[in-house]
Amino acid sequence: MRKNLIIQGGIFHEFTKTSNALVKLLDSIGFQSIVFDDPEEGLGELLSGNYSLLTVNALRWEMHGEKYDPYREEWAMQLSPSAKDTILLHLERGGAILGMHTASICFSDWEEWPKILGGAWEWGTSWHPQPEKISLIPTKHELAVNQSFSVTDELYTNLNVRDGTSVLLEGSCASSLDSQPVLWLNEYKSGRVIYDSLGHTAESILHREHASWLKSAIDWAIDSKRSP
């Protein structure tokens, strides 16, 4: 059975519930998952080299700004040099990464993370409405073969998506009418990376069509014979 390591935790989100949903989804395609609340501890475990997938389902960053004063002592973080090296080694070994929802905000002290993920949240520009019905439409990319669907979630808007990223799904909602990239693929070193800006709730992750898209993307990420 393939192994998946999940890093979870942070403010304003029910990460335990969404991680449990990811464990259930990944179990259905042959992954055994282990979950860590401490990113440094989890990435230390990743060094064993037995994990084909690293999932970042967390909101862990430097937390600049007065808004985060009550949370900074418990939740603010900077990745250690060894943790960064471990992620890079995972990719060099051909490992895959799945970044969910708030992963685009994580690791704000690390300039390489947006290059790995294929994009990032940009403070002062990116934003999201409250959860509401989002209409998802496939792009014309060759791997975007599943159907359009709708799901209740947060639509991350005006993310900074890097050139060369392969967008599979775009979404819009009543509060953000312009289509936004929602699900994309990226390659970095010898590894493959998926980012899904949805996933605010467990219900969204296990939504039938959303789960189908995620499974297809993970299949691509762990199959080196396919190309985006």
CB-CB contact of 21 with 205 (8 Å): yes
The first and second tokens of residue 223, run together, are: 């199959």
pLDDT digits (tens, 9 = 90+) for 57-96: 999 999 999 999 999 999 999 999 999 999 999 999 999 9
> Which whole number is the average pLDDT over 134-158?
96
Q: Answer for the pair 59, 105: CB distance below 8 angstroms, yes or no.
A: yes
44 phi, psi to nearest 5 deg: -65, -40
Order of strands, sheet of 166-173, starting from the edge strand that comes earlier in the sequence: 31-36, 2-10, 53-59, 96-100, 191-196, 176-188, 166-173, 132-138, 149-153
Would you state the pLDDT for residue 49? Answer: 75
Q: Tens digit of pLDDT for each residue in 24-40?
A: 999 999 999 999 999 99
Q: What is the pTM of this model?
A: 0.97
Average pLDDT over residues 129-154: 96
Check residue 181 and give its pLDDT. Answer: 98
Of the CA atoms within 13 Å of residue 90, those in its CB half-sphere come to: 30
CB 151 within 8 A of CB 207: yes
User: 2-121+181-221: which CATH number, 3.40.1190.20, 3.40.50.300, 3.40.50.880, 3.40.47.10?
Assistant: 3.40.50.880
